[in-house]
Amino acid sequence: MSEPMSRAEKRAATAQRILDAARAEFGERGMEATTIRRIAARANVDPSLVMQHYGSKAALFAVAIELGESAPEEVEAHLHDVLDVRLGALPPETRALVRSMLTAPEAEASMSAFLNERVANLSRAMGGEDAELRAALIVSSILGLTIARHFLKLDAFTAASDADIARVARPWVTTGVDPASG
């Protein structure tokens, strides 16, 4: 017979169920189509608990896509998923943040913190020589693509489908993942 769970253990188990449900939902539906209500239903919790544990859908997404130490092919698959999300319509909060990051100090600080966290996460997963610099170049490439496609609306990007851009961008974005293969 197992001992009853402590309050902290129950809280951690709930947070993990929510995170597992979020990863499944984001994987199946993408960032845009996933809702807090769907995540909550899948985790069998009230939607308010999702918000209590993670604060927002964007914050939960950031946690859900964190990489542990990974093989190069896992990192590449992750980057392909990120690229697919960034090629689709941006959520309003992301549009506001990107649009304001060069003019509002708060937005700049928020975007810088988010991107630095993405670089740190990616560099840990990639490992090897110059991992942090390679990760920063990859993150910067995806940011540049996001800005060029959604804000500057470069002709080549507006004339192409998401699938065509992804097909061409995938090898480009993952070039620095495994320095041994180069």
The string of pLDDT tens digits covering residues 107-150 is 888 889 888 988 998 998 888 899 999 999 999 999 999 999 99
Convert the pLDDT of each residue in 3-43 to its tens digit: 678 888 888 899 899 988 988 887 777 777 789 999 999 99
Output b/e per residue, 70-109; b: 16+ Cβ within 10 A. Answer: bebeebbebbeebbbbbbeebeeebeebbeebeeeeebee
Split at pLDDT 50, 70, 90, the class of 95 is confident
In the chain the domains, ranked by start, together with CATH numbers, are 1-64 (1.10.10.60), 67-182 (1.10.357)
Contact 149, 165 (CB under 8 A): yes
pLDDT of 128 reads 87
45: left (phi over 0), alpha (psi -120 to 50) or beta: beta
pTM (2 decimals)? Answer: 0.65
Question: Which residue is it, tokens 């999702």?
Answer: 50
- Asked if 20 and 39 count as a contact pair (C-beta separation under 8 A), the reply is no
